[in-house]
Amino acid sequence: MDVLLTESQVTREMIAKVAQKLVEFHQRAETNREVAAFGRSCVIRYNCDENFAQTEKYIGTTIAVEEYQHIKNCTNRFIDSNTNLFDKRVREGKIRDCHGDLHAAHVCFTDNICIYDCIEFNDRFRYSDVASEIAFLAMDLDRYQQAGLSHCLVNTYVKLSHDEELLELLNFYKCYRAYVRGKVESFKLDDPCIPEGEKAGILSVARSHFQLAESYTLGE
């Protein structure tokens, strides 16, 4: 889908089918006490704190100090204010064994829809609220400047799953997912196996993800 997006070849009908497939997948995906524990507010806070700790070294390189502090403050305020919501999602079975890395490059349109390359090496990255998973792909569609497709994905998923509560978490998780992508791209700058000539492009991508992350906090 990442290739098709750059060629304006992705339609709302295609995105609606992706949303339907995700609803069906999430309904089948395993949830139990161990999986559900990863949705607790204390775990969400741990994951966010880890992101901020791991990106401190990139302040002034891929993320501006003002961006970093604003995103961090908004993240902490949201978690503090929505502990009951996170815990309610746990009780209601919204934490599932998900894909974990659901962005456009992992969605393939063939005779059917193939979504591949899930995270298998780390349960913590895969066990999450379904809202976080949907936010990941919606965020990536925003990154391709396809807000209409992003809205279509979310609205279709909510309609089919009857999970209207997801909307309360959407921007929080969009911010979280964009920040993670900025972090991962930043890590590449330290990789000696990546040619220096490629790192200017990586720098730009990392910065764009952090800027996108902050955009979801505007007005807070």
Q: Which domains are assigned to the chain? A: 2-215 (3.90.1200.10)
At residue 220, does pLDDT exceed 80? no
pLDDT at 179: 98
Report the pLDDT averaged over residues 72-94: 98
Instruction: Report residue 27's pLDDT band, with 50, 70 and 90 as the boundaries.
Output: very high
In what helix (H) or strand (E) does residue 38 lie, and over which residues does it extend?
none
Contact 51, 179 (CB under 8 A): yes
Across the range 197-214, mean pLDDT stands at: 97
Question: What pLDDT, on the 0 to 100 scale, is given for residue 219?
Answer: 67
Instruction: Determine the average pLDDT of the residues in 32-52.
Output: 97
What is the per-residue pLDDT for 7? 96
Average pLDDT over residues 21-47: 97
Cα distance between residue 211 and residue 219, in whole Å: 15
HSE (side-chain half, CA atoms, 13 Å) at 218:
6
pLDDT of residue 48: 98
Residue 2 has pLDDT above 70, yes or no: yes
Question: Does the predicted TM-score (pTM) go above 0.85?
Answer: yes
Give the C-alpha distances (Å, rounded to integers) separating 148 from 19, 73, 210.
14, 29, 21
As given in the structure block, the two tokens for residue 69 are: 């502090």
Q: What is the mean pLDDT of residues 6-12?
A: 97
- pLDDT above 70: residue 5: yes
- % of the chain with per-residue pLDDT over 90: 96
pLDDT over 90 (residue 181): yes
Q: Name the H helices within 95-165.
A: 123-126, 130-143, 147-161
| Number of CB atoms found within 10 A of residue 155's CB | 15
pLDDT of residue 218: 84
**Average pLDDT, integer, range 175-196:** 97
Read off the DSSP letter of residue 37: G
